[in-house]
Structure 1
């Protein structure tokens, strides 16, 4: 269980009686700090639970918004001079870039340089922070699905992973070739070779010779 799930379970227990005492609030604030989470990020969820509205819906909406924001952040890192966004996994657009149709990985792009064209896919994942010196970037059934997609399509697949900061401006950014990923939990040591330094200042580019997104 990741730290977000642990904290959300604590919220459910603390608000089960429809009240949140000062001691319970202090306990949640302390636990959030221990887990490296921002207590204020969960204020709406706590209020929803106290009001008797479905907390799970609040969680899903919040997580979906983070996912959408991070995908938009990644899309903006592809210079339209070289990249064409072929497909996006839902009916979305950002900064004037529209997807042409529906796709079951987050992004499918075409890179063109001179007369050379390369198509590849990107799965985008955002996590608010590290847990136990790493992150769980997906579930096992998702991981198996990504691997199956790469095998069946025979196109390069990359994982764009944002950690910390906010979803639309992550503190750390990693771009990993899926073929190099062997687990759903990745430590900082495993992630480090794929870290993009000064991510706010740099766009992404495709190395045709090495077939690497960097």
Structure 2
């Protein structure tokens, strides 16, 4: 089945098979959060992006293969409700940016701009994207056999950047980082996976950047 990225709470996960990495996207309730399980196809090592909710469902997805790490894209509670239970059950490392660490319910190791998170023989590059929260991050997988894949948390969605509570300074930081760290660095073919809702590509959104900046949200 062709991967579309369309998932619903309680529905069937969407699975994308790359040469080196399997991406499984699932939506969990009650806020229709996306969680992403990444598995190295060579070693079987797995990493979860955002243990948002429904810990039993996420643990079923992880299965007997275990979990090396859980990366939390930012400190908002709807992205970590299941974190403590998933970490306790799997022994996975909890990872978050230093500036959002205090917002998590458990102790976590910190990551910073330019760090990499290993998924077996694959690697995710950490990109610090300020504005939605002080320590929001995106995670970039540069597929050697295909297009880049970018996990954006709540910093970038189809149709605009994340919520900055009508704070002009936070919005300026977010739109600047999204434009310069993501759109300026990566090609149109880059597929991105947000914290809620459907996926998109940078190419599908690029022409709207001036409109986003002008409207201020």
If the length of structure 2 is used for normalisation, what is the TM-score? 0.29
Work out which of the two has the higher radius of gyration on C-alpha atoms and give 1 or 2. Answer: 1
Higher strand share: 2
Higher helix share: 1
